[in-house]
Structure 1
Amino acid sequence: MNKQPYNQQLLDFIYQSPTPFHAVKNMREILEAGGFTRLPEETDWDIQPGGRYYTVRNGSSLIAFIAGHQSALESGIRLVGAHTDSPCLKVKPKPELNRQGYFQLGVEVYGGALLNPWFDRDLSIAGRLVFDSGEGSLDQTLIDLKRPVAVIPSLAIHLDRDANNERKVNPQTDIPPLLFRDPDKSVTDFFKFLAKELSSSGDLPEKARILDHELYLYDCQKPALTGMQSEFISGARLDNLLSCFTGVQALLEAGDQVSCMLVCNDHEEVGSTSACGANGPMLQSVLQRLYPDPGLLTRVMRQSLLVSADNAHGIHPNFADRHDSNHGPRLNEGPVIKINANQRYATNSISAAMFRHLCEKEGVAVQTFVNRTDLSCGSTIGPITAAMIGVQTLDVGVPTFAMHSIREMAGADDAFNLYRALRAFYNHQPTLMIQEA
């Protein structure tokens, strides 16, 4: 695939994936179109050499793999990891707020969101509903209202003269979005109101009663190629749907000789500790089903490598002093190897050298990121997964501006070059591992 169609498909994927549930649904459709077969976790698995498979947990995490013809004891497994979630605003269980004749929703902040950019945006609502069908059974569905239905208006500068100097956002009181006028306080149950709206549009059965939900607000503005030469990608959820899409596209082009795997976990932005997060049992349970003997699995992991793909901080031209001067990645100058002495990233000299070597052979430039020593560092699923299954791990990502904002920015060349690097990683035939000294 060439850069232009790749980036257009990436933009479409991000726009159609406002929540982790939608992202996994869309990845499933891409994989199935590419010949992958679903393996429900509650069934027995019949894995055939050369077969292409995937499994899903919670509708928000996905593991896809190719069972290579070569013995994994010799070539290991080529793993790529990413995460499906992004910082955002989540609707509370009982969200109804009716103040000054306006109907608003109470929301929680999911993850480390940069809150100021959420003001004055056209917002919509998407997520998962669990409902009583009205015929004695429970069911679930994904919804996406798609159109602008909410906004968080800023307070006018005339009423907050210090807004440009020291504006602080109180997440409890300042960010409940406004949905509509309701001076008579006629809407006392938002989910009855929502069910009626969805039933009238055919998105929910007429007698359905919503019992619970996981709903999120998102920016309606589509992602786009920006810049005078269209050299940048601007959009929501680049962290980390860009890596999810890249991993899927690379896996589609992997051969069937070496075993390859893509792991896309939910809940990375809130610590990864869940049944479907990287700090949970999902990946380990899949590997145990493929290699039931613990000794065999340990030997396979010693021949394997995980590339944890999650966006990196690009050096910001207006705030260059927030970066280490020798380790400030620039947009469109290549994927970034992420290094941290305190293991917030799992990269070591061996995994970094192997990735550099692959990228050199592919003609892909590589950069390096190290945080300023006097600033705290974020983390990824890399160290968590490495600790869970004992696999050699590398942390990489594309350099990004405005990470965790409602709209982030990355380089159009970098997204495509990360895809090229991961495709080469999946298709590299000889063993990647350097033997222990």
Structure 2
Amino acid sequence: MTSSKYVHQGSFALRAKILHFTGQPDPLKKSGYQYFADGVLVVENGLIKQVQSSEYMAERGFDLTQCEHFPEHLIMPGFIDSHIHYPQTNVIASYGEQLMDWLNQYTFPAELKFSDKTFALEAAEQFIQLMLENGTTTAMVYTTVFAQSTDAFFETAEKYGLRMIAGKVLMDRNAPAGLLDTVESARQDSQNLIDKWHGQDRLSYALTPRFAPTSTAEQLSMVGELYKANPSVYMQTHLSENTQEMELIKQLFPQAKDYLDVYDQNNLLGERSVFGHGIHLSDDEVQRLAHTKSQIAFCPTSNMFLGSGLLDLARLEKAGVTVSVATDIGGGTSFSLLKTLAEAYKILQLQGQSLHPLKALYMATLGNAKALLLDDKIGNFEIGKEADFTLITLSPSKIQKSRQLQASTLEETLFALMMLGDEHNIERTYSMGNMVYNRLACASDD
């Protein structure tokens, strides 16, 4: 239950262009989405009360003058990021390595600093501010091996009234000594954090073994036991991101038939399990993911930056695997899901596939909400849902303004936004009806 102190009390209305999704969009049939070229969004006590065209509202006696009016802006549901690391904010764009070397050279040293709760709180504040300025209102987040870093993240998310999923990273081998836990300390820390945070306000917990190479079989078995004992929590880890990583799996788990089987043997598959990457999967692994309703988080900017490979989205979708989209900061190179979708488009183009802008923006909103089993609460403007949304300017730069002037259809407008957009397009971000980010206010503060 959401605490009233995080809810915008009373009602207000915004008038602008409005786009949200009601299901998987079909561009040819023009189904699965609602678009109002001149729409009104009404929020009451932190929830969606109404969304309709301004003409419809005026005909029924609604006073349009009470709306804050943004005729050249677009309102969309808040973006949702299904795989991101809050300790990695300041290692973003670190030069010159693939996954395993990148972890050792940049990521692990950065994460050692999070043993300090004060440092972790400052980092969590920076991280959440960056998400909000990019229009992201919900994310599935990796913290560090230190329980206090997880507390710091949840405390900060709670302060802003955000809907977030996060978990303490579990590692008992193949990492610096200062970042290792044990089977028992990981068990106790994880259960304590679940008891403290899971279901508190808008927060949820995710069991978080970093990936199989940094956990012993005993630790992974323990995670499976916790998963069974706490069936409403999530599980997040990495899978088949890099070929060097996959060779290491063969050495560390010789009894497993493939990478996914390492997790499968420990009862870590299921509809609440989110596996980052999934680039280099066998047919058997794809079928097993589909059968267990386990899902893949597609991380385009990270996959390109670290040279990991190209995700075959069509193959996964044909098999029935749920695929969400994610930034994967700090292997990923932008907090912006708009920039992330632009890179996803390019990755699919390289494989003879296409990514329609309606489908892309669906993935970043209602699609990701469905993947994370949160679509009863967020993801679109269905009446009664939580009022998480973003106000987007379509022309924050000369090139975007010039391109948008040439757009003659909704699809062209959205495609230009997706390919050219970034954090500068996000003018405001709202959580439960509260304005938690305002670009104009931030600019005046500077």
Relative contact order, higher structure (CA 8 A, sep 6+): 1
State the TM-score bracket (shorter-chain normalisation). Answer: under 0.3
TM-score by length of 1: 0.26
TM-score of the aligned structures, taking structure 2 as reference length: 0.26
More helix by share: 2
For the pair shown, which has the larger CA radius of gyration, 1 or 2? 1
